[in-house]
Amino acid sequence: MTDTDRSDLLTAIGSAIAAAPNPDSAMKQTVRLLKDAIPYYTWVGIYLLDGDELVLGPFAGTPSPHTRIPLGNGICGAAATAKATIVVDDVNADPRYLACSIETKSEIVVPIMEDGEVFGEIDIDSDRAGAFGQRDRALLEPIASLLAERLSEGG
Ligand code: SME
């Protein structure tokens, strides 16, 4: 996928998020559009912060055993706590990693936040090692901001 295609994808997802009737629909459409557009996005999901746990919301891919992740656990917990994107090139070399699928090689977790408040995060796994880079951050961080705007509506 070229950078122009990615820019078009970001525009399409931004439109879907804006037009969605509610935040849940915005999250579902985001997950589906990302999974369908980018072949190496093997598993795409959104976790929402509930107290001091991350609760799995919409996802596309094989069901994960990790439907509730305490903030102190996993790469997911680390990203929400650090309030920063985390990219792991080799999940099996990262002691924080909570396995979802034996096939997963790399992961990116992008917090969904606004004004320093974390609402949740976008979590993407790839069966390819070192799959995620600057182009993925440049796609996913703006999408996370748009989702944060919808989630902060509270509806
Ligand atoms: N790998 C994540 C757990 C979620 S599953 O990948 C869907 C983590 O280490 O936090």
The three-class DSSP label of residue 70 is strand
Q: How far apart are CA 60 and CA 46, in angstroms?
A: 9
Residue 100 in contact with ligand 1 by CB distance below 6 A: yes
Task: Using the Cα atoms of residue 63, residue 150, residue 1 and residue 111 in order, give the sign of their dihedral.
Answer: negative
pLDDT tens-place string over residues 106-146: 999 999 999 999 999 999 999 999 999 999 999 999 999 99
pLDDT tens-place string over residues 44-55: 999 999 999 999
10 phi and psi angles, rounded to 5 deg: -60, -40
DSSP-derived letter for residue 15 is H
0.95 cut: is pTM over it? yes
Q: How far is the CA of 99 from the centre of ligand 1 (A)?
A: 6
Q: How far is the CA of 125 from the centre of ligand 1 (A)?
A: 8
